[in-house]
Amino acid sequence: MADSKSGYELGEVVIAEDAIEKRVAELGSEITTDYRDSAPLLVGVLKGAMIFMSDLIRELDFPLEIDMMAISSYGSSTSTSGVVRILKDLDTDLTGRHVLIVEDIVDSGLTLSYLTRNLLSRNPASLEVCALIVKDGKSRHIDMIKYIGFHIPPSFVVGYGLDIGERFRNLRQIYNYSGVTEH
Ligand code: IMP
């Protein structure tokens, strides 16, 4: 499919809009069951998790707070090195808070591993992770993810917040991006 906004060629749909909507609602009811009495802080990881986070919190039926963190991972355009720089830190003190990290996609798991270590050092009462997508076969830190939306094969995907070079975040479905080769 050609993306008319950019002229780039996209591959096939990996996760369709209705599947995303259904799964986000399911995650929302699971999280509601687990957190309804703990007034958690949801930490969204910019920019990729922005759209997932905004859909997810509207499925949560209890008092909560949100905060956002912006990070950049060093590496190539399609893989990370695990060396992470915080571009925007949280405004909220995590001490004694029940914290749920909301991530877009976990590939090697290196970014998530850095993030959880960093946030754990701030003494939260609990720390869990919700990831929309986990790539099968490559993720080394999958045991730290309590809520997983989808498992996909290890190819590069875009849409629904996910980008390549800042493009395609606005697409409603998740597509394979065939313009790059995985390595
Ligand atoms: P990891 O550290 O290898 O797990 O990579 C995680 C981060 O890399 C994610 O938070 C995304 O920002 C980015 N990323 C990994 N795979 C993809 C993908 O298929 N599409 C878009 N971004 C990705």
What values do phi and psi take at 18, rounded to 5?
-70, -30
**Residues 73, 52: Cα–Cα separation, whole Å:** 20
- Pair 159, 173: CB distance under 8 Å: yes
Ligand 1 and 110: CB distance under 6 A: yes
> 129: Cβ below 6 Å to ligand 1?
no
Residue 93 annotated as catalytic: no
Question: Cα(44)–Cα(104) distance, rounded to whole angstroms?
Answer: 9
Q: Which of 104, 107, 143, 163 is catalytic?
A: 107
Q: Where are the alpha helices (DSSP H) in the chain?
A: 17-35, 50-57, 110-120
- The structure tokens listed for 42 are 């949801």
Contact (Cβ atoms closer than 8 angstroms) between residue 57 and residue 35: no
Name the pLDDT band for 77 (thresholds 50, 70, 90).
Answer: low
Per residue in 144-156, pLDDT (tens digit) is 999 999 999 999 9
Number of H helices, E strands in the chain: 3, 9
What tens digit of pLDDT does each residue of 155-173 get?
A: 999 999 999 999 999 999 9
Q: How far is the CA of 89 from the centre of ligand 1 (A)?
A: 19
Please provide the average confidence, as pLDDT, over all residues in the chain.
90
